[in-house]
Amino acid sequence: MATFMKNNKRYIEHTVLAGETAYGIAQAKLYNGNRWGELVKMNESDGHPPISQYPHVYTNQQIGYPDDSYVPSTTDMPQFNSWLKVIASAGVNIRDQPNANANIVVHDVATKGVNYKYQKNSETSDDAHMRTYVYVHLDPPVNGHDTGWLPVSGPSNLADVHSPTEIWVQYE
C-alpha cells in the first residue's frame, strides 16, 4: 500500500478495480459514500486524472484517498502541551482512531471530569458521525495505549447525528 503526505495528512494510493465508483470507494475506504467529493477534490489537485471528468472512475486508475486511521508517529508530532477537561455528563469514549466506530481505549465513565494533555492543531473531523476529535496523551497508559483520540464535540443526541452539536470538553 503506497502512501504520501500532503498538508500534514497522510493519503493512501488506490488502484481502481473493475466496477468501482467514487461513491463505492469512499464507502469502503472512508466509511461514508457521501465523502466521494473529497476523492474528487484531492485527485484534481494532485495530478491524478480528475474524477469529475468521468461518470465513473475507470479500471486501473490511480487515485488517492485520505487515511483517516493515520496517527502521526511521535517523531512527527509536537509535544502534548495543552490541557482539556471532559465536561460531558456521561464522559466520552477515547478511541484508538478518530472515528466513532474505532476501538475504545478508555470508556466514557472513566473520563468524566478528567483532565488530559492534548496536541494542539490535532483536531480531526469524523464527518460521518458529526464528531471532532483531538489527540490526547494517556498517563498512565491504558491497556498498552499511551495516546488516543478524544471527542471534543458531537451531536447532543447520539442516535441522531443531525441533532445540535454539543461541546464535551473545556479547554484550559
The string of pLDDT tens digits covering residues 30-44 is 767 777 777 777 766
Residue that wins the pLDDT comparison between 47 and 164: 164
Question: Among 114-118, 137-141, 158-162, which range has the highest average pLDDT?
Answer: 114-118
The three-state secondary structure class of 96 is: coil
Residue that wins the pLDDT comparison between 93 and 54: 93
**pLDDT number for residue 109:** 93
Q: Given CA atoms 99, 100, 103, 107 in this order, what sign does their dihedral have?
A: positive
Query: Cell numbers at residue 39, please?
Result: 476523492
| CA dist., res. 10 & res. 81, Å (int) | 23
| CA dist., res. 34 & res. 41, Å (int) | 13
Please report where in the chains the cell 473531523 appears, as a residue: 125
**pLDDT over 80 at 52, yes or no:** no
Please report where in the chains the cell 466506530 appears, as a residue: 101
pTM confidence score: 0.56
Query: Cell numbers at residue 58, please?
Result: 475507470
Q: What percent of the chain has pLDDT over 70?
A: 82
DSSP conformational letter for 89: T
**pLDDT over 90 at 119, yes or no:** no
**pLDDT over 50 at 168, yes or no:** yes
C-alpha closest to that of 131 among 166, 171, 82, 88: 166
**pLDDT number for residue 54:** 47
Give domain limits for the chain.
Answer: 3-66, 82-171
